[in-house]
Every structure is written in structure tokens, then in C-alpha cells.
Amino acid sequence: MGAIPVRRIGKTEAEVTVLGFGGAPLGDLFELVPETQAQDTLQAAWDSGIRYYDTSPFYGHGKSEHRIGYFMRQQPHGEYVISTKVGRIFKAVRNAETFKSNLWAGALPFDFYYDYSYDGVMRSYEDSLTRMSVNDIELLLIHDLDHFFHTEPQVQAYLNQMATSGWRALSELKSAGLIKAVGAGINKPGFLPRYLDMVPLDFFIVAMPYTLLDQAALDGEFQRCAQDGVTVVIGSPFASGILVTGPVEGARYGYVSATPEILEKTRRIQTVCQRHGVPLPTAAMHFALAHPVVSAIIPGAFKPEFIHTNVGYFNHPVPTDMWAELRHEKLIREYAPTPR
């Protein structure tokens, strides 16, 4: 197995493997993940050459950070890159026995409040170091400050808090060499320019705006990133599931059940891929990585076999005429970059 290539984050010296590890599933996203299984999954990722691991305090209310930190403490220092996030502060709940989360099946008994101030950013950063028991975090991101979790008045208030207070903390951490790059993790299209008009970020992690099924980000957001020397990590290259499962009943797109229109478009794309002997997930991975502003993709996994399958998809060759057919059939945009 060949080494996984690396790419730079923005204009910084930070480099990540183009195939990374998305840590949300290790926060027990929708279903419980046994501890042994979580560590075996991380071991499979490490053995496969993956050296970039993304997590967040939000994932399982600390559980993902605990699990990734436990594994990373056993690996050679300096051979991996961790990204985590700020914006939520966690506090122990009074009644752990009755605490439940609607999103995280096995959430730790800590609730949170939003805080994008100087003190909030610094506390979140230090809490993450403590949870993971690591001495440094290379990449730090402003998390979920968009319409997925907030109303527009809330977004504007928190953006003002970040611009007037929290950004100073991120700048100090970077200037001191405690972090190498500052980013923002967002879920909704339209927010990249809004951030870049406010603060000089190095990169974004985006969940859905650029996949084999939707290239809306080409209409201006990725152009702005290229103009500013900002790069992007694709957090959901499989569009939250359907580009792995294919157009089956119950397939998920954008974290909800796929519409008939999305199912049909996926079916047509899959038919072209099959004609060229290419698995649908392979096409999804290679397509996302073909754009010059994309630094990495970070599909999530909670079983070792998912890692092995993803790496197999990643290493599968793709003939260039497949992209030509997808473009001819108007299944991808005419000017969307594709691998050469």
C-alpha cells in the first residue's frame, strides 16, 4: 500500500494526508460504539497511513476527543495532525443518570453553552488539550456558527462576539505557535465569504456544499477561497451516506432521507460509474479531491472494516473518460474540476 499524499492547509506550513479521519462517529453519532471497536477503528486508520484526525468537543459531548486522544498518546509525537473546534463550553450535568442527547447515542453527561468570546475560545482550547491529554493541537476551528444550529440574529450576535473578542484568542494561539492554522467548520453554503470578510482564516471544513451530487460552491465560494489562498477540507465526501450506499431505500443525503430527485440522480451517476468499472464511493472521493482548493477529505468511520473499505475505494483507479461521460450527461457541472 502506497503512502497517502499530503497537501498544505492554506498558506500555512501545516500539512495533512489527503485522506483523513472524521471523528464524529466516535462520539456515538446515532448509535453506540463500544470502546474496543473505537480503538480498533483508529488503529486501522493509522495502519492504513492516515495521519490527519478531526474531532470536536461536540462529538459525543467530549467522547470523540477522549477516544482520539487516548489513541494518539500512544503514537509518535509529530507524526499526526489533530484538528478540533471551539464555540461550545461543556459543564457536568447534575443528574447523569437521566441525561440524554437527541444526536449522540452515548453522549457523556456534560451539557454545553455557546461562547465565541476570548475567554470562551481559550477555555475550549485548554479543555480539549485536557480531554485528549495531548500537548498541542495543530488545527483549531470555529465550530457550527451558521444556520444549521442558530437563527440569523443568533448567528450575527455570535459572529460579532468572535470578531470583537474570540478572534484575538485564536490570533494569539497562532502567533505563539500553539496552533498552526485557524479555520471554521460550517454546515451550510453561503457562509465562506461571510467569514472571510470578517477574519483571515486559513481553511474551512465544510459538511455538504461540495460533493459529486452538488457543486453549488463553484458559483463563488470556492473562487473566493482560491483568491484568498484559503483551502477546504470536505467533511462529508459521501454526502452523509448515499454516495456509499447508492440509491437504496432509506439512503441518507444531507443527514436526512434522500428525496426521489436525489435518488434518481445518484442512480444515473452510479450507472455511469459501473459502466467504467468504478465504485460510486471511489468517484465521490476522487471528485472532491480534484478541486485545487481542497486539502483533504475526512469520511467518518466507526468500524475497522469501514476504514479498509474507504482506503480500497481511495486506491481504486478511475479512467478519465468516466468524468467526460458524467460531464456530457450533465451529471456534474461543465466546469467542475476532475482528476487528470
The predicted-structure confidence for 15-60, as pLDDT tens digits, reads as follows 999 999 999 999 999 899 999 999 999 999 999 999 999 999 999 9
Q: Is residue 271 part of a domain?
A: no
Residue 79 belongs to a domain: yes
Residue 335 maps to a domain: no
When divided into structural domains, the chain yields a total of 1
pLDDT digits (tens, 9 = 90+) for 145-176: 999 899 999 999 999 999 999 999 999 999 99
pTM for the whole structure: 0.95
Has residue 327 been placed in a domain?
no
Distance CA 249, CA 306 (A): 21
- Least Cα distance to 111 among 103, 119, 158, 187 occurs for 103
Assess whether pLDDT exceeds 90 at residue 188: no
Residue 338 maps to a domain = no
* Over residues 241-257, mean pLDDT: 92
pLDDT score at 114 = 98
**Given this model, what pLDDT does residue 3 score?**
87
Is 82's pLDDT higher than 60? yes
Whose grid coordinates read 465526501?
237
Residues with a catalytic annotation lie at 54, 59, 85
Residue 1 confidence (pLDDT) above 90: no
CA distance 187 to 125: 21
In DSSP notation, 244-290 reads HH-S-TT-EETTEEPPHHHHHHHHHHHHHHHHTT--HHHHHHHHHHH
Q: Above 50 in pLDDT, residue 86?
A: yes
- Evaluate whether residue 273 is within a structural domain: no
- What is the domain extent for residue 106? 6-245+282-320
The pLDDT value given to residue 67 = 98
CB 221 within 8 A of CB 193: yes
CATH of the domain at 212: 3.20.20.100
The residue among 263, 276, 285 whose CA lies nearest residue 212 is: 285
Residue 199: inside a domain: yes
Q: What are 281-321's pLDDT values in tens digits?
A: 999 999 999 999 999 999 999 999 999 999 999 999 999 99
Residue 163 counted as domain residue: yes
Of the pLDDT bands very low, low, confident and very high (cuts 50, 70, 90), residue 2 is low
pLDDT digits (tens, 9 = 90+) for 191-242: 999 999 999 999 999 987 799 999 999 989 999 999 999 999 999 999 989 9
